Amino acid sequence: MQRLTPEQMAERLAQDIPDGSYVNLGIGMPVMVANFVPEGRDVIYHSENGILGVGPTPAPGTEDPDLINAAKQYVTLIKGGCFFDTAESFAMMRGGHLDIAVLGGFQVSAAGDLANWATDNEKYPPAVGGAMDLSVGAKAVYVLMRHTTKDGQPKILDECSYPLTGAGVVRRIYTDLAVIEVTDAGLQVVELHDGNSFEDVQAATGTRLLPPAA
Amino acid sequence: MIDKRIASMREALTDVAPGSAVMIGGFGSSGIPFELIEALRQHGAGDLTIISNNAGVAEEGIAALLRDRLVRKVVCSYPRSQGSIWFERLFEEGAIELELIPQGTFAERMRAAGAGLGGFFTPTGYGTKMAEGKETREIDGRGYVLEHPLSADFALVRAHKGDRWGNLAYNTAGRNFNPVMAMAAEVTVAEVEHLVELGDLNPESVATPGVFVNRVVAQEGMN
């Protein structure tokens, strides 16, 4: 099967971010999306620690130790950007003021439930951060994740086995194999990445998929 | 005369008793009151509840409090980061209690405490493990979870500039949790990079009004 690289996955998702969007990118693969939004689109990135208008990585030697993103990496502020405190930052999320949240995922269910904060390993500390607030508050939640785990187990399932981040919150799933939309009728494959058949992608999935329109 | 200035970090924390609940501002390494945390470590009161977004990395900040086994419980949203070795070690040993709270609920619970509210209903966590044992309510067709205010004995915050009345202004994203914690605690101690004269702060740039702050200490360069 043809699997996209993480960069290609981020690039694919970036095509679906419209001009003028306010977007929050989660820790991990999602932050890479910012590198691939097509030229000419004005996208304003929100960071949970209190930034609207997150800009690119600073040149070495010009870092501001207080100016970091959610992943604790140094960033810059674009012209027109601003700062605020955490309570206001999460008011933006919960209050429905952000258009898109791109989150990583451990598992997504057929009903669009997302699990991405805790596993079933009790020795491994859970960490939720802003994921639950984003999942209920953003107007659209896109999940960017590999289609299967490192050992080949499906991550898209009838039901999540890990604790939920949000119930029925996911709009679209962008994986290394396909793009899948969560609809009332079920999980609709909207795009198969080059060379992958619907049957192959279905075989790598733990719940029933609807084939793309011919 | 109102003068909240204290001469040293250590002096500002002499009344922190063992078993205290202490809020610590900052996010990752941004806006963290590193000198106050070091003074708290030297002060040595144990059995602390530390309320902060993260649990420190390497041997720095909160990680040093964990290493010295001064902490009984951590209340946070994201304890695990690259290099959070002390938290992970103590957690695996079962030597530390963790109360994990979604970050927005965490901030709002502190804001509620500071704002005199009895709690609030949030959609965050509804239908998840985070809502277990909590009152829920449907409002206009949507599910919400009742969350209670979160206060503490002390808040340690960091600002870029402060004056003797306790007015604080922050540097870029160093603001984060500092303003809500300053509101929420019984005693708020502010570590400031620059102590300025009354009137030197632009009133429009004061993000924490001095009424929320009890003690102000200029950085000593102790780290």
Q: Say if A1 falls within a structural domain.
A: no
A57 CB contacts (<8 Å, ≥6 apart)?
A73, A74, A75, A76
A120 near B CB under 8 A: no
Q: Say if A64 falls within a structural domain.
A: yes
Q: What is the mean pLDDT of residues A28-33?
A: 91
Q: What is the mean pLDDT of residues A42-61?
A: 95
Number of domains forming the structure of chain A = 1
The answer to whether residue A214 scores a pLDDT higher than 80 is no
Domain boundaries, chain B: 9-102+152-218
Nearest-Cα distance to chain A for B7, in Å, is: 25
Residue B162's alpha-carbon distances to A150, B61, B85, B113, B199, in angstroms, are 50, 22, 34, 23, 11
The answer to whether the CB atoms of B173 and A67 lie below 8 A apart is: yes
Percent of chain B past pLDDT 70, that is, above it, reads: 99
The answer to whether the CB atoms of A93 and B104 lie below 8 A apart is: yes
Q: Which of residues 163-222 of B touch A (CB under 8 A)?
A: 170-180, 207
The answer to whether the CB atoms of B123 and A137 lie below 8 A apart is: yes
Q: Say if A18 falls within a structural domain.
A: yes
Q: Say if A129 falls within a structural domain.
A: yes
Nearest-Cα distance to chain A for B191, in Å, is: 15
The answer to whether the CB atoms of A68 and B179 lie below 8 A apart is: no
The answer to whether residue B223 scores a pLDDT higher than 60 is no
Q: Say if A45 falls within a structural domain.
A: yes
The answer to whether residue A3 scores a pLDDT higher than 80 is yes
**pLDDT band at B222; cut points 50, 70, 90:** low
Which residues of chain A have a CB within 8 Å of the CB of B194?
none
Residue B132's alpha-carbon distances to A163, B58, B79, B125, in angstroms, are 12, 33, 21, 9
Question: Which CATH code, of 3.40.50.460, 3.90.226.10, 3.40.1080.10, 3.30.420.40, is assigned to B9-102+152-218?
Answer: 3.40.1080.10
- Which chain A residue shows the shortest CA-CA distance from B174? A66
The answer to whether the CB atoms of A166 and B127 lie below 8 A apart is: yes
A61 near B CB under 8 A: no
The answer to whether the CB atoms of B79 and A127 lie below 8 A apart is: yes
Range of the domain at A156: 6-210
Q: Say if A166 falls within a structural domain.
A: yes
A64 near B CB under 8 A: yes
B25 near A CB under 8 A: no
The answer to whether the CB atoms of B173 and A90 lie below 8 A apart is: no
**Who has greater pLDDT, A37 or B107?**
B107
With CA atoms as reference, report the closest residue to A56 among A40, A48, A65, A45: A45
Q: Say if A161 falls within a structural domain.
A: yes
- Residue pLDDT, tens place only, A101-151: 999 999 999 999 999 999 988 888 899 999 999 999 999 999 999 999 999
Report the SS3 class of residue A137: helix
Annotate B124-193 with DSSP letters as a single string. TTTTSGGGTTS-EEEETTEEEEEE----EEEEEEEEEEE-TT--EE--GGG-TTHHHHHHHEEEEEEEEE
Token pair belonging to A111? 């009903």
Q: Is A48 a catalytic residue?
A: yes
Do the beta carbons of residue B103 and residue B79 sit within 8 Å? no
pLDDT value of position B167: 98
Which residues of chain B have a CB within 8 Å of the CB of A94?
104, 122-124
Mean pLDDT of chain A: 95
Q: What's the CATH code of the domain at A164?
A: 3.40.1080.10
Spot the catalytic one: A7, A11, A39, A48.
Answer: A48
